[in-house]
Structure 1
Amino acid sequence: MYVVIGTGAGGAILARELALNGLPVTILEKGPYIESKDAFDYYDKYSEDVDLLTTTCIGGATIVSMSNMVRALDEELLDYDVDLSDAYEYVEDLVGVHQLDDSHIGKGTQAFLDAGYELGLQTLKMPKAIREKDCIQCGKCAFGCPADAKWSGKDFVDDAVEAGATLICEAEVTEVLKENNKVIGIKYIKDGSEEIIEADKVILAAGAIGSTLILRNSGIKDAGQELFFDPFVSVGGYIKDINFNTEVQMAGLIIGKNFVLSPHFSSFIRANLPGDDITDNDILSIMVKTPDECRGYVTEDGDVVKINTITDIRYLAEGAATAGFVLEKAGVDPATIGSTVYRGAHPGGTAPIGKIVDSNLETEITDLYVCDASVLPISPGKPPILTILALSKRLADYLISE
């Protein structure tokens, strides 16, 4: 029996690939099985000090993601004997990665792209896994897609169940059971009762924080001593009736040396703008996202502590300044440009390759694997979903070949 814990990018494709190859799979998800349109209600809150965007429900963070699909850490992972070339090609074809048709590039996004080109920045449409025929261009990608037009881990979980996998939702895994340092099962809590499932192999894909707590409870105490997340702010300003808030979000991309920029609506910008007659329809904003130096950690209680280095702050400042130039070139009144507070997304690095797992993503406990953003050895500074999918496809192939 293969037990997969978590239904985000890592767990979902693993369960799908194993089940489609006729292997017995049980999937456990801490959160409920929901409709995509309801995902906004399942964002997590870690502490008052860290605004970290994650969710607990079927599909994990993928269900509220923008379905951005960019390759990250290709060269860096080669240093750990991890080559994702074939896995990337397979996954990109499977989820239909492509740049959106012009029919789904709105006025605000086009202004962002045009400004990037004019400023000589490395500018392109964002590769995505969105089905234009279903997309209603409502601007609510981060709330959970009301039209089910974008890929999420939920899609692959459904495929796995159809192929014979068993799905258990609202089940909180607490510990991996072992004998002679080899996996024999897992322990979980559902409806207040403790249950045990026997297992030959266990794959943790519960996210950087969730996987950390399970690893520690299972005897791997060094998990969670390091943690990164991509710091980001949104910078925006006033353009009358731009209607950017109703567009497909993050459909463009500017790649800098130490940051990436993508057009992303934030209603928090409005509080910084002068005048009471400005509405969400009048705001064009850009997300500034940077890598960080992995100076955080997960506490024993599962809280997140984040330490910002001078380099982290410098990269964010560089990105925010560049975003200001792009906004002004795009037609934003420079006197109105403001920023949101600092937030974080895509936590990872808590069980890194080379320290907690080997190049096949196996821990020191035989037949216990980790396959989510936990295993990334450094912060990608880019959306990590495609990289996690490729890592999981590679792991699935390895497990199937065994």
Structure 2
Amino acid sequence: MVIIVGSGAGGAIIARELAKDKIPVTIIEKGPYIESKDAFNYYDVYNDDVDLLTTTCIGGATIVSMSNMVRALDEELHEYDIDISKEYEYVENLIKVHDLDDSHIGRGTQLFLDAGKELGLKTLKMPKAIREEDCIQCGKCAFGCPADAKWSGKDFVDEAVEYGATFISEAEVTEIIVENSEVKGIKYIKDNVEKSINSDTVVLSAGAIGSALLLRSAGIDAGHELFFDPFVTVGGYLKDINFNTEVQMAGLVIGKDFVLSPHFSTFTFEDESIESKDILSIMVKTADDAKGYVDDDGDVVKINTINDIRLLAEGVATAGFILEKAGVDPSTISSTVYRGAHPGGTAPIGKIVDSNQETEIKGLFVSDASVLPVSPGKPPILTILALSKRLSDYLKN
């Protein structure tokens, strides 16, 4: 039997792939099993110094993601003899990654795309895993899809259970059982009762923070070199744009050191007289220098370098030019506070895990954003899915 800890992108696809081939699988999820529309209630809270967007529930952060699916880190992974081109193709076909139909490109997104092209920027539609026939274009992608129109890890967990996998929710793993440098199972608490499951194969997919803490409990010094995608949202006033009801992040501008995507946020304005329907805003996201870490209490410590700040400033300036070209009143342009998403790098390939994502403890694997060797500066979900598909094939063999 294979034990999978966590039900985000990595854990979900491994569970599906193994259960589909009749391999016994048990999935342990710390959070509850919920409906997608309720996901906004399960955002995690960190310390006051870090505004990091993660969730604890079935599907992990995928359930509140924008379902953006881009390939990342191809060349960087080649340095570790990892080629996931076939896995990318498999996953893209499986979850039907595609550019949104024009019927789901709203006016605000189209203005973003047109302005980017006029400014000579590399501009394209964002590849997504969204079912247009179900999408009601409500703008609530980051709250958990009320129409269940986008892919999330929950889809794969449900499939895995249909194939015969066991899913245990609201269960916190407290210990990795290790004997003679080999994994023997896990201990967990559910309903205030400690239980255990024996297995010689355990996959940690609890996220960059959760997996790092579990690795430490097993004696592996993980949790350093933490990165996340630093971002701010820059917006301004454009009367009756109604961008707040569009599919979010449906466009993309790729800069040398940053990416931009149309993303609604009311936090761009402190002036309560400005209505949500009159805001057009853009997310600015950069790669990260990975100078953060997870402390022993599970708190995230983020250290920003001069390079982090410089890249973000370049992206913000470009976003301002796009907004003005799109018709936004330049005197109203402002920004959110600095935030973060997609934490990773706490158990990187080549340091904490090998090219098969196995730790120094035989049978103990990691498959989530923890294993990414550097910050991609792009949405990492597709890369995590491809790496995890590769790991599922390795475990089968």
Q: Could you tell me which of 297, 301, 306 is aligned with 2:297?
A: 301
1:196 aligns with 2:192: no
User: Is structure 2 residue 211 aligned with structure 1 residue 211?
Assistant: yes
Whether 1:365 and 2:361 are equivalent positions in the alignment is yes
CA distance in 1, matches of 2:19, 2:260: 38
CA distance in 1, matches of 2:343, 2:174: 20
The code of the aligned residue for 2:229 comes to D
Query: 2:132 corresponds to which residue?
Result: 132
Structure 2 residue ranges without an equivalent (≥5) = none
User: What is the rounded CA distance, in whole Å, between the counterparts of 2:193 and 2:224 in structure 1?
Assistant: 30
Alignment partners' CA distance in 2, 1:3 and 1:11: 10
- Return structure 1 stretches of 4+ with deviation > 2 angstroms: none
Deviation (angstroms), 1:239: 0.3
Distance 1:320 1:264 in 2: 13
Output the amino acid matched with 2:333.
I
2:376 alignment partner in structure 1: 380
1:154 matched to 2:150? The reply is no
What is the match of residue 244 of structure 1?
243
Contact 1:10/1:371 (8 A) holds in 2: yes
SS in structure 2 opposite 1:396?
Answer: helix
1:159-178 to 2 correspondence within 5 Å? 159-178=159-178
Shift of 1:219: 1.2
- Between the aligned partners of 2:18 and 2:112, the Cα distance in structure 1 is 42
Tell me if structure 2 keeps the 8 A contact 1:27–1:165. yes
Whether 1:321 and 2:356 are equivalent positions in the alignment is no
Report the TM-score, using the length of structure 2 for normalisation.
0.99
The 2-side partners of 1:225 and 1:67 are apart by 28
Q: Which TM-score applies when normalising by structure 1?
A: 0.98
SS at match of 2:15: helix
Deviation at residue 132 of structure 1 after TM alignment: 0.1
What are structure 1's unaligned runs of at least 5 residues? none
**Secondary structure of 2:47 counterpart:** coil
The percent identity for this pair of structures is 78
Please give the alpha-carbon distance, in whole angstroms, between the structure 1 residues aligned to 2:166 and 2:260. Answer: 40
Letter in 1 for 2:266: S
1:246-302 per-position Cα deviation (integer Å, ceiling 9, x unaligned): 00000000000110000000011121x5xx542000000000000010000000000
Report the AA paired with residue 280 of structure 1: S
Deviation, structure 1 residue 175: 1.5
Contact 1:244 1:283 in 2 (8 A): yes
Deviation at 1:211, TM superposition (A): 0.2
Q: By how many angstroms is 1:178 displaced? A: 1.4
- Measured after TM superposition, the shift of residue 25 of structure 1 is 0.3
Q: Is the 8 A contact 1:361 1:395 kept in 2?
A: yes
Match of 2:252 in 1: 253
Amino acid at match of 1:306: K
Cα distance between partner residues in 2 of 1:114 and 1:177: 56
Counterpart secondary structure, 1:27: strand
Q: What SS does the aligned partner of 1:242 have?
A: coil
CA contact under 8 A between 1:175 and 1:215: conserved in structure 2? no
Aligned-residue Cα RMSD (Å) equals: 0.6
- Does structure 2 conserve the Cα–Cα contact (< 8 Å) formed by 1:270 and 1:280? no
d(CA) in 2 for partners of 1:177, 1:53 = 30
Letter aligned with residue 22 of structure 2: G
For residues 76-155 of structure 1, the aligned pairs below 5 Å read 76-155=76-155
**2:75 equivalent in structure 1:** 75
Give the CA deviation at 1:43.
0.1
